[in-house]
């Protein structure tokens, strides 16, 4: 059974063009605002950011194609110089490009899982987020290996991010599972 996403929910209540514009604006704002949350880590070129939370929530609530299209738009606009990346950066940081590539793939994958009902319950939404985290961290870790010595790669590119990902995944899954039930007219409790 497919799940109702935010764009479909809005299209039921607004004229289609208005629904699409509102959905795009809300998704883009989610990505930009979540990227503003950043905690630089000493000893690693990668900060802990809210971007992964934004991507997971976007994918769970928007679905595969809208989430991937929104993230691709965000990445392109950040790459050409808009100050929308983590910590307000205006250009792509080559060291963290693998994480961004992973976020694009995660947006589509988690969105596809949401379309198949993964956003309907907290455990399933959390499981989808774990898949998304594995994709983001895998892409980032693989790309970071070009810049960081192998003996310190786990310490600089993976381990520091696991506790934060657990918290961000928990929050995204909780919000999305409650919202998805509301979109479908069910209880939010």
pLDDT tens figures, 12-69: 888 988 988 999 999 999 999 999 999 998 888 888 999 999 999 999 999 999 999 9
Q: How many domains does the chain have?
A: 1
pTM over 0.75, yes/no: yes
Placement of tokens 């381990």 in the chain: 159
* 189 occurs within a structural domain: no
Closest by alpha carbon to 155, among 52, 35, 50, 41? 41
* 188 occurs within a structural domain: no
Give the other-Cβ count within 10 Å of 73's Cβ. 14
In the predicted structure, residue 178 carries a pLDDT above the cut 90: yes
The residue length of the chain stands at: 189
Residue 63 backbone class (left: φ over 0; alpha: ψ -120 to 50; beta: rest) = left
Specify the pLDDT at position 164.
94
* 167 occurs within a structural domain: yes
* 106 occurs within a structural domain: yes
In the predicted structure, residue 11 carries a pLDDT above the cut 60: yes
* 1 occurs within a structural domain: no
In this structure, what CATH number is given to the domain that contains residue 12?
1.10.1760.20
Structure-block tokens of residue 166: 């657990």
Within the chain, strands assigned E span 38-39, 48-49
Domain with 90 in it: 6-183
In the predicted structure, residue 187 carries a pLDDT above the cut 50: no
* 109 occurs within a structural domain: yes
* 66 occurs within a structural domain: yes
């Amino acid at each position: 059974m497919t799940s109702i996403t935010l764009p479909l929910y809005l299209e039921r209540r607004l004229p289609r063009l208005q629904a699409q514009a509102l959905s795009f604006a809300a998704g883009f704002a989610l990505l930009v605002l979540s990227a503003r949350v950043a905690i630089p880590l000493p000893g690693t070129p990668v900060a802990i950011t809210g971007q992964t939370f934004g991507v997971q929530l976007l994918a769970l609530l928007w679905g595969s194609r809208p989430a991937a299209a929104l993230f691709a738009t965000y990445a392109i606009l950040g790459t050409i110089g808009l100050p929308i990346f983590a910590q307000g950066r205006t250009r792509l940081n080559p060291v963290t490009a693998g994480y961004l590539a992973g976020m694009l793939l995660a947006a589509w994958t988690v969105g596809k899982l949401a379309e198949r009902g993964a956003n309907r319950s907290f455990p399933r939404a959390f499981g989808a987020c774990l898949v998304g985290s594995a994709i983001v961290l895998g892409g980032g870790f693989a790309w970071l290996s070009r810049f960081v010595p192998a003996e310190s790669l786990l310490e600089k590119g993976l381990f520091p991010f696991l506790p934060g990902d657990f918290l961000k995944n928990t929050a995204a899954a909780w919000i999305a599972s409650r919202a998805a039930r509301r979109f479908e007219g069910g209880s939010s409790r």
